[in-house]
Chains A and B, each alone.
Chain A
Amino acid sequence: MKRREFIEKTAAGSALLSLGLSLSSFETVKTQQLTILHTNDVHSYIDPFPADHPRNANMGGVARRASLIEKIREENPNVLLLDAGDIFQGTPYFNYYGGELEFKLMSMMKYDVATIGNHDFDNGLQGLYAQLPHASFDFVSANYDFKNTVMDGHVKPYKIFNKNGIKVGVFGLGVELQGLVDKKMYGETVYNDPVETTQDMVRILKQEQKCDLVICLSHIGYNYRNEPEKICDLKLATLTKDIDMILGGHTHTFLDKPTVVKNLDGKDVLVNQVGCYGINLGRIDVFFDSDKNKIHDGRSIVV
């Protein structure tokens, strides 16, 4: 009996002790690092460019990208891997297999989410729908309404990730289809205004869901020098608030480093795009702390 009593008391005591310890840990400041990796406009480029290519000799290649991603995951397992659309079209891999291999490889690399680019409609809505079973990742697009198409229910406006306690909201945006994609291909897909859609999204993700980080995964294009009225990532950043970063595609823009733009509230937004054809991988490291006593208006974006 004495022995049993002792064990019970000790067990209870150690439970208390561990709870006490974990309680005290809430008082200390926690710091976290989230690594966001992103690609855009890979366009079915699975093999590296040949050695005699005039512009991109020996660049790219999925097997190499996978190795780079693996290395980064070993360094910091808290990774979010994103693609900003135009996964399809550009090499015979797409003509022969319709995107099957692209989706399978992205699943093997553990992509978390992708948005839909204009070329992802190149085999029609049916062609995109047919390849969905090969993708273990999700698709987000907040301004394409697929309600009256076969894609209905297969594309979410946004997705929320819990990365080691950090709440990350990712929403997708697509480019205007009319005049760019044959109507036969996009069918009854409805394109909605990216700015209005973004206002809805940040209200949900920032105010209602209280995400710690809001990412816009965009295929609307970085900037249109000859069409200043056309909505693009740079304009979207300045016209909205509560987006932390826009990771984009469509214009095949090779930025040496991400751009920093002031939003409606005068806060910094990071805008990035890494060219095309899987030549580059974008890497954004976000550092967080949980100190409630500090006021964090002065976060720094280092590019």
Chain B
Amino acid sequence: MVNLKKYNDVFKLFVIFLTLLIVVSCGKQNYNITKIEGKRIPITEKENQVAQIENFIKPYREHINNDLDSILAYCPTTLDKSGQWQSTIGNLMADVSLMRGNLVFETREKKKIDICLLNSGGIRSILPKGNITARNAFEIMPFENSMVVIALKGEQINEMVDFLITDKKSHPLSGITFTIDKSNKSKNVLVQGKPIQKETIYYVGTNDYLSDGGDNMNFFKKGIQKFDLDYKLRNILIDYFKQVDTIPVIKDIRITVE
């Protein structure tokens, strides 16, 4: 027994020694990189699906699909971007944005939006003939752009008109009409049916991207005042689809060429 006790003491000491040794020599084992291999693995239909993940997604997907695919309105003919100076889908978007934007602007600011100008490039899809759903609004307006109103003097409205004449794109336009004469200059510029006045302040609805000078619409940067309506253009469309039964086909002439 005595021997064993001594042995235990030696053993304890040895354990302490080993522990110290481990701490000293292996406290931080240094690893060196010997080789790095890198590759890209495409995720294709050959890959199995993890059932647990798929089942987890399912209720979310079904809710979205039910909501996106419920019928909100009917479109009697396909509306698209074709047209030199204006298009059926552009006219609809500009008119609807002006009308629904005004619901917010009039309540908040007690003022009226005079003009609406959006960009042709922002319309990402057609509005096909048939039943219209929220999914169509997502396809037309996938971006999160919101409506803003910029206060511009008549002078800047004239710059806007000059821009439209040189840009030659069917940008959605509402609330203003003008004629392009034979020398490629504007004449007969009417805002809400009245001749434009240089010093008058007009309220122009557009999207946040263009209001910062996007698509070279630099005249928006000269605005005297800016109002964020916190109203996404996509939601404007969805709310409009809910508001009407049949989508109008709007063809009145906004830009006349002599």
Contacts and interface: CB of A to CB of B under 8 A. Distances in A.
Interface of A: 5, 8-9, 12, 16, 19, 23, 26, 30-32, 46-48, 58-68, 70, 89, 92-93, 95-97, 101, 104-105, 108-109, 122, 165-167, 182, 210, 212-213, 244-245, 255-258, 270, 272, 274, 278-292, 294, 296, 299-303
Highest count of chain A CB atoms <10 Å: which of B8, B31, B39, B54: B31
Contact of B43 (A19, A61, A104, A257): A61
Interface residues on B, range: 35 or more
24 contacts: A5-B1, A12-B8, A16-B14, A61-B49, A62-B57, A63-B50, A63-B51, A64-B44, A66-B50, A67-B50, A92-B138, A96-B67, A109-B53, A165-B29, A165-B31, A270-B38, A280-B42, A282-B38, A282-B40, A286-B36, A290-B32, A300-B34, A301-B37, A302-B38
10 tightest A-B CB contacts, nearest first = A63-B49, A296-B32, A258-B38, A64-B47, A288-B31, A66-B50, A212-B31, A63-B54, A287-B35, A63-B53
A37 to B, nearest CB: 9
Contacts of A245: 36
Contacts of A255: 40
A270 B48 CA distance: 30
B7 to A, nearest CB: 7
A290 B60 contact: no
Interface stretch (B20-28, B186-194, B198-206): B20-28
Given A26-B25, A48-B45, A291 B32 contact: yes
B144 interface: yes
Nearest to A268: B36
A208 B14 CA distance: 32
A285 B57 contact: no
A212 B41 contact: no
A58 B50 contact: no
A258 to B, nearest CB: 4
B165 interface: no
Contacts of A285: 36-38
Given A59-B42, A60-B43, A299-B36, 13 more contacts: A32-B31, A64-B44, A66-B53, A93-B64, A257-B39, A272-B40, A279-B43, A283-B40, A284-B38, A287-B33, A301-B38, A302-B37, A303-B38
Contact of B36 (A12, A182, A210, A284): A284
Contacts of B34: 31, 287-289, 296, 299-300
Interface string B1-24: 100100110010011001001100
Highest count of chain B CB atoms <10 Å: which of A60, A61, A300, A303: A61
B52 interface: yes
Contacts of B8: 12
Given A23-B18, A58-B45, A299 B53 contact: no
A63 B36 contact: no
Contact of A67 (B42, B47, B68): B47
Contacts of B138: 92, 95
B237 to A, nearest CB: 13
Contacts of A257: 38-40
B32 A9 contact: no
A61 B40 CA distance: 16
Contacts of B28: 167, 210
Contacts of B53: 62-63, 66, 105, 108-109
